Amino acid sequence: MFGRRASDMAAGTHYRSERVSAVNGQYFFSTREGTLEGPYFTRVDAEREIALYIRRMKLSNAILAFRGR
């Protein structure tokens, strides 16, 4: 997939993959930033946390952009 985020300097190729993985009955999700978040007790918990993580990242980027004015 070809795509570009607003923070990317140049277009790049991003491959979609499964973000949630299970290890020893615990669930984790990986981020574009290269971190592994978790553990969570269920897949549903991990997926809910993905949405919250994205919301936090967008908010922090907006705060940084506002302060940079």
3-state secondary structure 46-66: HHHHHHHHHHHHHHHHHHHHH
31 pLDDT exceeds 90?
yes
Does residue 15 surpass a pLDDT of 90? Answer: no
Cis peptide before 39 (omega within 30 of 0): yes
pLDDT at 1: 43
Task: Give the residue-averaged pLDDT of 12-17.
Answer: 59
Phi, then psi, of 5 in degrees rounded to 5: -90, 160
1-5, 11-15, 33-37: which has the minimum mean pLDDT?
1-5
Under 8 Å CB-to-CB from 27, ≥6 apart: which residues?
A: 20, 21, 38, 39, 40, 41, 42, 43, 45, 46
- Whether 29 and 37 have beta carbons less than 8 Å apart is answered as yes
How confident is residue 38, by pLDDT bands cut at 50, 70 and 90? very high
Average pLDDT score over the chain? 86
